[in-house]
Structure 1
Amino acid sequence: MSKYKAPSYHKDEFNCPRCEVRSPQKWYKIYRPKSDDTPIMNKVVSTPGSFTGQTLHGSWSVDISICQFCSEYSLWEKGVLLYPFQTELPDAHPDMPNEVKGIYEEATKVFKHSPRAAAALLRLAIETMIPLIEEYEIEKAKLNTMIGILVQKGIPDHIQQGLDTIRIYGNEGIHPGEIVLNDDEEIVFYMFELINDMIEELISRKTKIRKAYAKIPADKIKGILNRDRNSKPKD
């Protein structure tokens, strides 16, 4: 397997941000000179390790790299990859429900421009997630109420604290108050990790244990049930 090479401006080869395959890239420039209103597409011919395109001084210009494996394009401006949008935020947990995943991914797209908006969306994500957890059978209600019901049903303290962290910071994104989230991107960044942790704790871990337990032979299960029945305190 070839070593990963991050997408880089005017480089001849890197892992394509569209298909993720390490592949040669061809570069093109789209620009509009100050003296003309007609956009021009100019193929840039480059050799390995160098960029030999014409220097242009138009009123605006963007670059396009074309992956030679998937034939898809990536859009660059002033050396910065604009599309597809890339982020260092963690991917959505594999077990995240689709309804929640859509909200989560929307939050990743706005985080760069507005941590407050991202925090508000993550709050909406856990508000959407809780009624979907089959284990607890919680009906849709105010988020604070649903977290309280989870506490009554015995979730660990650290899970409650994680959910309330997302709830409170997300609420600040909707109703600015004591916490200035645009000045504290670090806490919002952590909220993305936190919601994945909540998925792991409330959905994935129990599912994995149940699947493993279901493979235990029936006679062994019977022995476990007898043990538990006999271990209960007698009146």
Structure 2
Amino acid sequence: MVFPLARAGAPAHADMPPEVRDLYEEAAAVTPISRRAGAALARATVERLIKHLDAGAPANARLDDRIALLHGRISTPLQQLLDIVRVLGNDMLHVDEQPGDLAVIALDEDQGPGVIELVLRAANDLVDELVTRPRTTSSLWAHLSPGTQQNIRAKQTRLGVEVPAPTDESTPVPPSPSAN
């Protein structure tokens, strides 16, 4: 009898870019064997994904800067989770004499697997928030009549709500405001 190999986390999001998906799958596959390696690879996955999605950021930007540049384009909980991924990945790679609290939790037999699953989910959530939902919403918005779209925009303007520009599906994420 053959048993499937254990892996962590959900499958990679269907809209995840292939070059990121490979790294995600590696992180999910290695996590049951080494949570330290899984956390480090999850961090690398998030970094590669953010670089792919936000090509407007400076090429030499650090991951913490890239995450900060996503402010206002992703939910606050996801931004916090991305920072957790960054810190945990760093802690796992740069363990001195005293590992950080996140590293201790991630390496714990009871809590660790859940923490790593949450870390892996951050990549899927990022794809969902910055690629899938905008594309789906844009597609549905296009089915509204021009008059209905105009009425919605007029109401938003009257209420002082910032009216988003129509999205271009070929550009997953608008350029960072500070990247200019």
| Shared fold, TM over 0.5 | yes
- What is the match of residue 165 of structure 1? 84
Q: Percent identity?
A: 29
TM-score by length of 2: 0.72
Structure 1 residues 89, 232: closer, same or farther in 2, change over 3 A?
closer
Q: Partners in 2 of 1:86 and 1:227 — Cα distance?
A: 52
Alpha-carbon distance between aligned partners in 2 of 1:142 and 1:197, rounded to the nearest angstrom: 21
Q: Tell me the secondary structure at the aligned position of residue 117 of structure 1.
A: helix
> 1:31 — aligned with what?
none
Distance 1:91 1:154 in 2: 24
Match among 98, 116, 127 for residue 199 of structure 1: 127
Write 1 or 2 for the structure with the bigger share of strand. Answer: 1
Q: Match for residue 52 of structure 1? A: none
Instruction: Find 2:34's aligned residue among 114, 135, 159.
Output: 114
1:101 maps to 2:21 = yes
Question: How many Å separate the matches in 1 of 2:92 and 2:53?
Answer: 25
Which residue pairs with 1:73 in the alignment? Answer: none
8 Å CA contact 1:162–1:198 kept in 2: the answer is no
Unaligned runs of 5+ in 2: 162-180
- The count of aligned residue pairs is 151
Return the structure number with greater relative CO, CA threshold 8 A, min gap 6. Answer: 2
Alpha-carbon shift at residue 137 of structure 1 (Å)? 3.4
Structure 1 residues 226 and 88: alpha-carbon distance in aligned structure 2, compared to 1, 3 A threshold: closer
Residue 177 of structure 2 is matched in structure 1 by none
Residue 107 of structure 2 corresponds to 182
Alpha-carbon offset, residue 149 of structure 1: 1.4
Contact 1:116–1:172 under 8 Å retained in 2: no
Aligned counterpart, 1:132: 52
Q: 1:128 to 1:219 in 2, by over 3 A?
A: same
SS in 1 for 2:70: helix
Counterpart of 1:170, as a letter, is G
Structure number having the greater helix percentage? 2
Per-residue CA shift, 1:58-84, capped at 9, x if unaligned? xxxxxxxxxxxxxxxxxx4xxxx3xx5
1:50-61 equivalent positions in 2, closer than 5 A: none
1:119/1:191 contact within 8 Å kept: yes
Distance 2:74 2:9 in 1: 27
* RMSD value, Cα: 2.4
Q: Which amino acid aligns with 2:128?
A: E
Larger-gyration structure (1/2): 1
- Deviation per residue, 1:147-203 (Å, 9 max, x gap): 11112x453321211111111111122112222333333311221223222222232
* Counterparts of 1:125 and 1:117, CA distance in 2: 12
The residue number in structure 2 matching 1:144 is 64
Aligned equivalent of 1:18 = none
Partner amino acid for 1:204? T
Q: Quick one: distance in 2 between partners of 1:106 and 1:230?
A: 50
Counterpart residue type for residue 182 of structure 1? L
Q: Say which is worse superposed, 217-226 or 140-149, in terms of deviation.
A: 217-226
